[in-house]
Amino acid sequence: MGGLVKSIASPRMLVALAMGFSSGLPLLLTLSLLQAWLQQKGVDLTLIGLVTLVGLPYTFKFLWAPLMDRWTPPFLGRRRGWLLITQVLLMASIAGLGLSDPLAHPLLLSFMALMVAFFSASQDIVIDAYRREDLRDEELGLGSSLAVNGYRVGMLLASGGGLILADHLPFSQVYLIMAALQGIGLATTLLAREPKVAERPPRSLKEAVVAPFVEYFTRNNLAWGLGVLILILLYKLGDTMASALTMPFYLDLGFSKTEIGAVVKLFGFWATVGGGLLGGVMMLRLGINRALWIFGALQAVSTAGFALLAKLGPQVPALAAVITIENVTGGMGTAAYVAFMASLTNKRFTATQYALLSSLMGIPRVLLSAPTGFMAKHLGWEWFFIFCTLIALPGMLMLIKYAPWGKVPAPAEEPGA
């Protein structure tokens, strides 16, 4: 037990936790918090669903990730230098989003939301690369779980805390507060060390763009490479689609913003922390592949809880139970998912390869979640969440081939690197 506590409290793990927070905070500022703002202003539910399209940078971040592998800013090093740049611009974008008007200037608001997503995705590229390079292979499971915990805390603070504040302050002021809280990530960047990487970084832009993809797809064979990409796309599909409209769902059922903020976000905080830590500790014993199987199954079951809540109506105890289960299993599933992706990257091209893999993670949230408003409107909430539960099955079945039970992922390093 003492060794586990010492591992969690090590500087590397604390940096992973803090950077996870910095990565998670901006995400819901363009999703659930923005959805609540738009619904309060009377924007149509279908249009609210389409607003998820501003998250496209999360899906296409692999396109500019090679620039962050190839070039090093003239200060703080390759990873911390890029972090400083993206974090300063992200804080400015969040403030600009808060100063926009959804009804008077909808295009300006959409543009600022897109900028928040772009600089947030850019920050994610560097944070993911930093964590992969800073942690040893055997630390990836625990480090990923702490990063997921920090990520979830940032999301909960932005959405839950933001909703409670929105009952007492204008949304514009709420966004300015969130921009200031992003300074935690900036302080972490300035205090952290630059990771030492033995592998030679790309020496040209061509090498930074082409070599990561060639290495990934030739490591085993093309079919294997494509299969893993499809697995990553599908593994959290049901959970992500369900999460896309939970805010309008809670409001439509009749819960107040304070109830949602207190129960869904703040009460769920401890469930999220517990789930993330439990997932990290269990991965030390189970290994990444077995964790993907167990946590994925629990994750699908938790999605079905929303269908039950739709049937029961606005009962706070039922909401608390569903959120507890969802947050625990979601924290566990995401920790295994992130550790699995990190294990697939070669440290020569960490930013680009991880960006490629995690970009697929964003496709369900952005493109496949865009029609969720239409689906919920015509299926009804109960059948919508039943559909989200069933759509998780294809990803689980792909684990048979690409993450077999008991097999340990091999390190993705070049011979002699």
| 338 vs 64 pLDDT, higher one | 64
Is 354 a domain residue? yes
Q: For residue 255, which amino acid is it?
A: F
304, 102 Cβ separation under 8 angstroms = no
Is 413 a domain residue? no
**What per-residue string of b and e applies to 275-306 under the rule 16 or more CB within 10 Å gives b?**
bbbbbbbbbeebbbbbbbbbbbebbbebbbbb
> Among 80-89, 259-268, 314-323, 378-387, which range has the highest average pLDDT?
80-89
pTM for the model: 0.71
The pLDDT score that the predictor gives to residue 415 is 39
C-alpha 359/C-alpha 233 separation (Å) is 9
Q: Tens of pLDDT along 60-112?
A: 888 888 888 888 898 888 889 999 999 999 999 999 988 888 777 777 888 88
Is 407 a domain residue? no
What range does the domain containing 222 cover?
2-192+203-402
N- to C-terminal Cα distance for the chain? 36
Q: For residue 262, which amino acid is it?
A: A
CATH number at residue 341: 1.20.1250.20
Is 416 a domain residue? no
Cβ contacts of 375 within 8 Å, gap of 6 or more = 384, 387
Tally of helices (H runs) and strands (E runs) in the chain: 24, 0
Residue 416 has pLDDT above 50, yes or no: no
Within a 13 Å sphere around the CA of 274, how many CA atoms are in the beta-carbon half? 12
Over residues 27-54, the mean pLDDT reads 77
Q: How many domains does the chain have?
A: 1
Is 415 a domain residue? no
Residue 281 has pLDDT above 80, yes or no: no
Q: Tens of pLDDT along 171-210?
A: 889 999 999 999 999 999 999 988 887 667 777 777 787 8
Of the candidates 173, 187, 222, 133, the one whose C-alpha atom is nearest the C-alpha of residue 21 is 187
Is 145 a domain residue? yes
